[in-house]
Amino acid sequence: MAIVTNTVVYLDGDVVLEAFFAFDDEVTGRRPAVLINHTWCGRDEFVAEKAKKLAAMGYVGFAVDMYGKGVLGSSADENMKLMQPFMADRAMLQQRMKAALAAVRLMPWVDDGKIAAIGFCFGGLCVLDLARTGAEIKGVVSFHGLLFPAENIQGCAIKAKVLALHGWDDPMVPVDQVHAFEEEMTEVGADWQLHSYGNTMHGFTNPLANDPVFGAVYQPVSDARSWLSMQNFLTEIFV
């Protein structure tokens, strides 16, 4: 196994974006690709490592850039300022996701009929919104993602299978938001699952999360369980 990594520049209108990607060059032919959406921090080492792990599983891992080439937040205030425009304008968020999907489809190693997307926190919302647009992808996985719907595209048929991995004690995703998400997915006829992990707060996949007052705490057991659930899901949808 030889994992190759690099970056690729792509555009959303006039906005220059830079994704990180990884693949195993010992795998022959085209293979499935998995978009990886970052947290509110921006496209950082956390998602780069996920891309490498997915490459080792035989996929092309493509870490999406939502904010712009080289743009990273360095504090909670900066992260919020970067994320907030997308929360306020979900159409812009969805267009940014479509640009990433178009970019990954052009890569020579990618089977463009077998693409999925995973995302963490803010990134979970991003991949769910990609599914909500009716995008032609196999599936999406949200890790401790925000679940509230996008008002600009309510009722659109969801073609992707959906897996939401949720910490039951996540203060950023209260019970009513979970129930509303379940109702939304049911009403549009989606093939959906939601796994809730007990004794688990927001950010449970991030080893650096250690702020119970804010509501984000790493939970290694839930981290391992959620990653295994994702692996099983990808195996199912890429048959």
3-state SS, one letter per residue, for 91-112: HHHHHHHHHHHHHHHCCCCEEE
pLDDT tens by residue, 180-215 = 999 999 999 999 999 999 999 999 999 999 999 999
Determine the pLDDT at residue 221. Answer: 98
Measured CA to CA, the distance from residue 125 to residue 90 in angstroms comes to 10
Label the pairing between strands 161-167 and 192-197.
parallel
pLDDT tens by residue, 83-129 = 999 999 999 999 999 999 999 999 999 999 999 999 999 999 999 99
224 pLDDT band (50/70/90 cuts)? very high
Collapsing DSSP to helix, strand or coil, 9 comes out as strand
As given in the structure block, the two tokens for residue 161 are 């299978």
Determine the pLDDT at residue 108. Answer: 96
Using the 8-state DSSP alphabet, how is residue 169 labeled?
A: T
Domain count, the chain: 1
Burial class (CB in 10 A: 0-12, 13-18, 19+), 165: buried
Determine the pLDDT at residue 120. Answer: 98
Query: Which CATH number belongs to the domain containing residue 113 in this structure?
Result: 3.40.50.1820
Collapsing DSSP to helix, strand or coil, 213 comes out as coil
Question: Does 237 score more than 90 pLDDT?
Answer: yes
Q: String of b and e for 20-56 (b: at least 16 CB within 10 Å)?
A: bbbbbeeeeeebbbbbbbbbbbbbeebbbebbbbbbe
Q: What is the 3-state secondary structure (H, E, C) of 146-163?
A: CCCCCHHHCCCCCCCEEE
155 pLDDT band (50/70/90 cuts)? confident
Domain range for 124 is: 3-237
pLDDT tens by residue, 2-50 = 999 999 999 999 999 999 999 999 999 999 999 999 999 999 999 999 9
Using the 8-state DSSP alphabet, how is residue 114 labeled?
A: E
Label the pairing between strands 31-37 and 192-197.
unpaired
pLDDT tens by residue, 50-83 = 999 999 999 999 999 999 999 999 999 999 999 9
Question: Does 154 score more than 90 pLDDT?
Answer: no
Q: Is-contact 182 161, C-beta < 8 A? A: no
Place of tokens 């992990």: 197
Determine the pLDDT at residue 113. Answer: 97
pLDDT tens by residue, 159-185 = 999 999 999 999 999 999 999 999 999
Backbone angles phi, psi at 24, to 5 degrees: -95, 115
Host H or E run for residue 17: strand 15-24
Q: What is the pTM of this model?
A: 0.97
